[in-house]
Structure 1
Amino acid sequence: MFNFSSQNFVSLNHNGQHQFGMNYAMQVFNSNAIYSFIPKNGCSTLRLSVAIANGTIDGIEQGNWIHQNNQTFKPTLKEAATAHYKFVVLRCPFRRLASVFLDKFVAKEPDVWQYRDLLKREVNLDDLTFEQFVKSLAVPPMKGANIHWKPQSLFLLYKEYDDYFALEHFEKAITTLKDKIDLDVVDARSLTGHGTDKFEMLNNSDYSKTSAFDIAVLKRAGKCPSHKALYNDELTQLVKKLYAEDISLYTKRCNQSDLLFP
């Protein structure tokens, strides 16, 4: 049942991979369901929805509560093992990395300063490009150093889930979760501002070498490079290599044609 519990014979309480999956699992109380949340995969919307469903906040106006309460609905081992329904949202790995850069790096959020520290502060965040970011992930331990670009496969508590939803078709998750566990999904995008849905998307050029500062200037003007426009052939092949397991997971559980580069 559990994905990493038998990977080694240490006490399960000291099995780092299993405990990581537990830390990113949330109970939905009234349906005895478990949601494994993966950063950059619509998790703010679903964490908000679970918090409302569990009766801890009234609505999106208290939405910032979720950012300090990721562990509040963490299940016990028994609760995780006896859940009636388990679900997770996956995302095209190419789009997820692009989203991280356009969101976290362009806005210079705290995760990005930690990234700079890992590189011994030898990078200027304003000058950083998507190409430089992706290439840096090939240097250990960068790929697993932050939850926003850590491989999605490492968040999976279970070997099998009842439903694997693709963020690219999130409307299916909304209707299925309502039908199966009576969960009302509350859109958190107005709270977080993480998405690109309010921008004019630019597809007319190669933005792989465009600095984070220049992209920030574009965003202030209401424009933003598309996810695809951040990639060149070299970066596409590098991500295919670095995130091969995630691409295989997405292909198996979702629709391969929804990958940015099938």
Structure 2
Amino acid sequence: MFNFSTNNFNNLNQNGQHQFCMNYAMQVFNSNAVYSFIPKNGCSTLRLSVAIANGCISGIEQGNWIHANNQTFKPTLKEAATAHYKFVVLRCPFRRLASVFLDKFVAKEPDAWQYRDLLKREVNLDDLTFEQFVKSLAVPPMKGANIHWKPQNQFLLYKEYDDYFALEHFDKAIVTLNEKIDFNVVDARSLTGHGTDKFEMLNDANYSQTAAFDIAVLKRAGKCPSHKALYTEELVQLVKKLYAEDLALYSKQCNKEDLLFS
């Protein structure tokens, strides 16, 4: 049932991988459901929705509550083992990395400064390009160093879920969750501002070597490179190598035709 419980034969409380996954699980009380949340996969919207469903906040106006309460709804071992319904949202790995860069790095959020520290402060965040970011992930331990680009398969508490939703078709998740567990999804995008839905998407050039500062200037003008415009063939092949397990997971549980690159 559990994905990593037999990784070692230590006390389960000392099994780091299992406990990590438990920390990224949320219980929906009225349906005895467990949601495994993966950063950059629509998790702000679903964390907000869980908080509302569990009666802790009344709406998006209290939405910032969720950021200090990621483990408030963490299930016990028994609750996780006896959950009636388990679900997770996956995302195309190519799009997820592009989203991380356009959000966390262009805005110079705390995750970007942590990344700089990991590189011994030898990188200037204003000058950082998407190409440099992706290539740096090939150097251990960078790929697993931050939850926003850590491989998605490392968040999966269970070997199997009742539903695997694709962020690329989030409308299906909204309908299914309402039908199966009477769960209402409340859109948190206006709260977080993480998405690119409000920008004019640029496909007129390749932006893989465009500095984060220059992309920030574009965003202030209401424009943003598309996810696809950040990639070169070299970067596509590198991501295929680095995130091979995530690509296989997405292709198996979602529609591989929805991957940004085949």
Q: Same fold (TM over 0.5)?
A: yes
Cα displacement (A) at 1:211: 0.3
Q: Residue 224 of structure 1: SS of its match in structure 2?
A: strand
1:161 corresponds to which residue?
161
In the alignment, what sits opposite 2:187? 187
Query: Residue in 2 aligned with 1:8?
Result: 8
Structure 2: gaps (5+ residues): none
Q: Does 1:87 align with 2:87?
A: yes
Q: Residues of 1 paired with 2:212 and 2:204: CA distance? A: 18
Cα distance in 2 for residues equivalent to 1:15 and 1:204 = 48
Q: 2:60 corresponds to which residue? A: 60
Alignment partners' CA distance in 2, 1:193 and 1:163? 27
Correspondences of 1:88-103 after superposition (within 5 Å): 88-103=88-103
Q: Does 2:246 correspond to 1:253?
A: no
What is the aligned partner in structure 2 of residue 214 from structure 1?
214
Q: Which amino acid aligns with 2:6?
A: S
Instruction: Give the structure 2 partner of residue 42 of structure 1.
Output: 42
1:19 matched to 2:19? The reply is yes
Alignment of 1:101-250 (within 5 A): 101-250=101-250
Distance 1:200 1:171 in 2: 22
Q: Distance in 2 between matches of 1:5 and 1:148?
A: 23
Q: Secondary structure at the match of 2:19?
A: helix
CA distance in 2, matches of 1:128, 1:7: 37
Quote the Cα distance in structure 2 between the aligned partners of 1:16 and 1:249.
Answer: 22
| Residue deviations 1:210-237 (CA, integer Å, cap 9, x gap) | 0000000000000000000000000000
SS in 1 for 2:106: helix
Aligned residues: 262
Post-superposition offset of 1:105: 0.2
Instruction: Kindly report structure 1 stretches of 4+ aligned residues shifted beyond 6 Å.
Output: none
Cα distance in 2 for residues equivalent to 1:93 and 1:218: 24
Shift of residue 63, structure 1, vs aligned partner: 0.1
Q: Identity percentage over the alignment?
A: 87
In the alignment, the residues of structure 2 paired with residue 74 and residue 188 of structure 1 have an alpha-carbon distance, to the nearest angstrom, of 21
SS in 1 for 2:120: coil
Matches of 1:204 and 1:3 in 2, distance apart? 43
Tell me how far 1:7 sits from its aligned partner. 1.4
State the 1:8 CA deviation.
1.1
- The amino acid of 1:196's aligned partner reads T
* SS of aligned partner of 1:107: coil
- 1:33 and 2:33 correspond: yes
In structure 1, runs of 5+ residues without a counterpart are: none
Matched letter for residue 211 of structure 2: S
The 1-side partners of 2:90 and 2:189 are apart by 18
- What one-letter code is carried by the residue in structure 2 that aligns with 1:85? Y
Q: Distance in 1 between matches of 2:86 and 2:39?
A: 17
Cα shift at 1:48: 0.2
Alpha-carbon distance in structure 1 between the residues aligned to 2:220 and 2:91: 26
Displacement after TM superposition at 1:10 (Å): 0.9
